Amino acid sequence: MKLATVLATLNPYLRLMRLDRPIGAWLLYWPTLIALFAAGHGVPSLRVIFGFSLGTVLMRSAGCVINDMADRDFDRYVQRTAQRPLASGELTRRQALPVLATLLTLSASLLLLFDERTALWALPALALAMTYPFMKRFTYFPQVVLGAAFSWSIPMAWVAQGHTPDASTWLLYAAALSWVVAYDTQYAMVDREDDLRIGVRSTAILFADMDLSMIATLQFLCLLGLVLLARHLHWGTPFMTTVVIAGLAFIRQFWICRDRQRDACFAAFLENHYVGALLFAGVFLTYLIPGSGL
């Protein structure tokens, strides 16, 4: 079989897992890395980094498959999602099931790297990932459920390194949750007209004309949580500098979204990848540079 034929066969499966669009994996990964370094006092083990890094990719892909299986009949009526493999008919749910089973099996196998306590803490993450796609049918807060799921790697990072989640854990969790709800509301603004037409719900619909103000409020809460975390962990100049730059990036996002155009809102959403990378760089430099703590 020619390589081109193999790639053509694999293409819809790769798109089903969103491996062609890694933005979601990056947005999940940056808070995870920050948590790993915070819980590991700047020196997380390679085993922990490997397990959480691969787990991020696998669970994000599994979540995308679950989401597309649940939303197939909605996605075909949404401009942004109409060409997804299940919505367009390139793949069937029966073809997607083995992919999901493989991703979940591989994810579960990574728990062998850790103790039973870590495995128990992984169960809420699985539950959140499984229920999130259905939330838009019953509540205007699916973004909050996504934020809870995306941020659950934070307490797991503490547990995986032999610690009990403490005040710093939950400060980081609250900051990450606020950030996720903010950027996923930007994402939902892209689909708002389509969602209103087909009857699904989101914070973008709930907030209505207050959407930009609510996003800004959530971003402020994120920054406040990070400042409190920095004081609690004695993170100094490198991290606080990145927090200030992140605040400027949030102001830029507000400006980009000011007219609520689809492409502009999507562009603002994508910029959060750089915000996450920047904040992790601040954490890394804080531990790298001696005496940089408060």
**Cβ contact 16:65 at 8 Å:** yes
- The set of residues, in sequence order, having a beta carbon less than 8 Å from that of 220 and lying 6+ positions away, is none
H or E segment and range at residue 270? helix 262-270
More confident residue, 104 or 289: 104
The mean per-residue pLDDT over the stretch 176-191 comes to 97
Query: Above 60 in pLDDT, residue 294?
Result: no
Query: Above 90 in pLDDT, residue 73?
Result: no
d(CA 49, CA 47): 6
Query: Above 70 in pLDDT, residue 292?
Result: no
Predicted confidence at residue 104, as pLDDT, reads 94
Q: What pTM does this model have? A: 0.94
Query: Above 80 in pLDDT, residue 4?
Result: no
**Cβ contact 35:159 at 8 Å:** no
d(CA 168, CA 77): 43
Q: Delineate the domains of the chain, giving CATH numbers in brackets.
A: 3-288 (1.10.357.140)
Predicted confidence at residue 69, as pLDDT, reads 92
Least confident stretch, 44-48, 72-76, 167-171: 72-76
152 DSSP assignment: T
d(CA 101, CA 169): 31
Query: Above 80 in pLDDT, residue 228?
Result: yes
**Cβ contact 95:69 at 8 Å:** no
pLDDT band with cut points at 50, 70 and 90 for residue 75: confident
Predicted confidence at residue 74, as pLDDT, reads 86
More confident residue, 195 or 6: 195
The mean per-residue pLDDT over the stretch 260-272 comes to 96
Reported as a single tens digit per residue, the pLDDT across 88-140 is 989 999 999 999 999 999 999 999 999 999 999 999 998 998 899 899 999 99
Predicted confidence at residue 1, as pLDDT, reads 55
The mean per-residue pLDDT over the stretch 200-206 comes to 95
Closest by CA to 145, choosing from 125, 165, 122, 168, is: 125
Q: Mean pLDDT for the chain?
A: 93
